[in-house]
């Protein structure tokens, strides 16, 4: 997990690291495309290398666990963040895992 200091200093608009770039790209793509079905994207991703499929699952779990670490929600994201918090707890307890990198 990220330390509290690192989490406080994350700046989506000004950071130029790979994580911030991916976050901005995802934000822009979802905003411009509307609401693409994650399931359909997953169907396309079945065609890529098996190791990369594992990496995508680990990445998606990481995204959800990162979203879980926010303190403030409102009606627009309250249920989604509650779900993220459940997933984060499952990851912390070892109940949910992407498996080893092979």
Q: What is each CA distance from 24 to 20, 31, 38, 40, 94, in whole angstroms?
A: 6, 10, 18, 21, 30
Per-residue pLDDT tens for 58-72? 999 999 999 999 989
For residue 16, give Cα distances in angstroms to 4, 8, 58, 97, 98: 20, 16, 22, 29, 27
Q: What is the pLDDT of residues 34-85, one digit of tens each?
A: 666 788 889 999 999 999 999 999 999 999 999 999 989 999 999 999 999 9
pTM beyond 0.85: the answer is: no
6-36 exposure pattern, b = at least 16 Cβ within 10 A, e = fewer = eeeeeeeeeeeeeeeeebeeeeeeeeeeeee
How far apart are alpha carbons 23 and 63 in whole angstroms? 9
For residue 91, what are its two tokens? Answer: 């990851």
């Amino acid at each position: 997990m990220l330390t509290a200091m690192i989490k406080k200093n994350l700046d989506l608009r000004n950071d130029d690291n790979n994580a911030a770039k991916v976050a901005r790209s995802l934000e822009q793509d979802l905003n411009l495309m509307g609401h693409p079905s994650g399931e359909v994207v997953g169907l396309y991703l079945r065609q890529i290398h098996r190791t990369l499929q594992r990496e995508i699952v680990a990445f998606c779990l990481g995204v959800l666990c990162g979203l879980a670490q926010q303190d403030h929600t409102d009606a627009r994201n309250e249920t989604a963040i509650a779900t993220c918090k459940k997933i984060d707890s499952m990851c912390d307890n070892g109940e949910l895992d992407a498996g080893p990198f092979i």
